[in-house]
Amino acid sequence: MKQMYHSNDPCVLLINSHVVWYPKRRRKIVVDRLKTRLEELIRETAPELGCEMVALEMMPDQLHLVVSATPQWVPNHIVSRFKGKTSRIVRQEFPFLRRMPSWWTRSYFWSTAGHVSADTIRRSSEAQRTRG
């Protein structure tokens, strides 16, 4: 995916961030139809936040997302919007998730990432899989 610089009148910027978050108790539930639906929702939500999705890697127990965002939104608001929207919609569409008091954990990882490729994210997530 080609990186687009964000610009307004006085400045041009590129802020890439690597975000990781997890289902409650690291349950391995991000699979099959749920995984597909989550990807659709994240792709739909990114433009609403003025973000560009650079890379997305989902494993059964975690989600890695690289976004290019403007400083209009602070990191915790971006993560809250992604987690809140996806949680609300998938809990309506997948009844087995309604039994859980909350779907995502409150925690997340956020790091600035510079120029990041999908291969870099894949290698990072592969390292997570082998950690045990």
Question: Domain ranges in the chain?
Answer: 6-129
43 band by pLDDT with thresholds 50, 70 and 90: very high
Determine the pLDDT at residue 31: 94
Are the C-beta atoms of 27 and 61 separated by less than 8 Å? Answer: yes
Task: Check pLDDT > 80 for residue 129.
Answer: no
Q: Kindly state the tokens that stand for 47.
A: 């433009």
* Mean pLDDT on 25-29: 90
3-state DSSP call for residue 89? helix
pLDDT at 16: 86
Q: Is the pLDDT of residue 125 over 80?
A: no
The alpha carbon of 127 is separated from its chain's Cα centroid by a whole number of angstroms, namely 18
Q: Which CATH superfamily is domain 6-129 in?
A: Transposase IS200-like (3.30.70.1290)
What are the residue ranges of helices labelled H in the chain? 32-48, 75-93, 118-129
